[in-house]
Amino acid sequence: MVRAICSFAEVVYLEPAEKPAHKAIMERFVAVARSKNASPTWSDVRAALLHFDRAGLRGLVHDLYAASKDNQAFLHARLGLGHDQLQPFKACISNWICPDVMKNQPISVSKAKKAIADYKKAIGRPDGMAELSIFYCERATYLERLDKLRSRARNVGWGVEEELNGLWCAAALDEHHQGK
């Protein structure tokens, strides 16, 4: 009895144009059996891609595009699509540096910086890198303003300083501020 070793989608994408389907499945089985104990590497992916035809590659890119907004931003930037390829990267920076505190969203400097690194991987044009870096610095000044506001709040009135300190601590900003 034969047990299925891969999904229908894998068979469609991995079937070479010049080989029958059953032979492609057997080759896939051998590749899976060989690399079962080791994590796949780029070499494994590259070797698997050699068996794709044009439609299979297009389908794979479509699936990656549909899988996440990050993939969409990457492809838009790499292919020069849209009127502002920097917009999704700026949105990501803003979301992580200046989150909606009413929705309990955390601040993450590292994830904001990751947006710049993602743009660099996608296209890395110097003017785009400079624009994103400046945008990041402008948004990061928010943290400095919040810290100043927090220190001035002790003179405002009862409970204001405590509330701002609570927000600061809830966002784990003490660790970021001490690292400066």
Q: How confident is the model at residue 72 (pLDDT cuts 50, 70, 90)?
A: very high
Q: Which of 99, 86, 171, 168 is nearest to 131 (CA)?
A: 86
pLDDT at position 65 over 60: yes
For residues 82 and 17, membership in a common domain is answered with no
Three-state DSSP class for residue 45: helix
Sequence length of the chain is 180
For residues 76 and 148, membership in a common domain is answered with yes
Q: How confident is the model at residue 130 (pLDDT cuts 50, 70, 90)?
A: very high
For residues 80 and 32, membership in a common domain is answered with no
For residues 172 and 116, membership in a common domain is answered with yes
Flag the least confident range among 27-31, 58-62, 163-167.
27-31
The predicted model gives 39-46 an average pLDDT of 91
The torsion region of residue 39 among left (phi > 0), alpha (psi -120 to 50) and beta comes to beta
Domain end position, chosen among 24, 48, 67 = 67
Instruction: Residue 97: give the domain boundaries.
Output: 69-178
Q: How confident is the model at residue 23 (pLDDT cuts 50, 70, 90)?
A: very low
CA distance 25 to 8: 10
pLDDT at position 93 over 50: yes
For residues 17 and 98, membership in a common domain is answered with no
For residues 172 and 148, membership in a common domain is answered with yes
Any idea what DSSP says for residue 37?
A: S
For residues 25 and 35, membership in a common domain is answered with yes
pTM comes to: 0.57
Q: What is the CA radius of gyration of the chain?
A: 24
For residues 63 and 109, membership in a common domain is answered with no
For residues 126 and 160, membership in a common domain is answered with yes
Q: What is the domain count for the chain?
A: 2
How much is the mean pLDDT over the chain?
A: 76
Q: Is 3 part of a structural domain of the chain? A: no
Q: Is 1 part of a structural domain of the chain? A: no
Q: Is 133 part of a structural domain of the chain? A: yes
How high is the pLDDT of residue 4?
41
Domain end position, chosen among 67, 92, 114 = 67
Contact call for residues 86 and 116 (beta carbons, < 8 A)? no
Tokens 């993602």, residue?
118
How high is the pLDDT of residue 21?
46
For residues 127 and 163, membership in a common domain is answered with yes
CA distance 117 to 137: 15
CA distance 100 to 131: 23
For residues 100 and 61, membership in a common domain is answered with no
DSSP string for 106-170: PP-HHHHHHHHHHHHHHT--HHHHHHHHHHHHHHHHHHHHHHHHHHHGGGT-TTHHHHHHHHHHH
For residues 171 and 113, membership in a common domain is answered with yes
Instruction: Name, of 3-7, 27-31, 136-140, 173-177, the range with top average pLDDT.
Output: 136-140
Q: Is 113 part of a structural domain of the chain? A: yes
Domain end position, chosen among 51, 67, 83 = 67
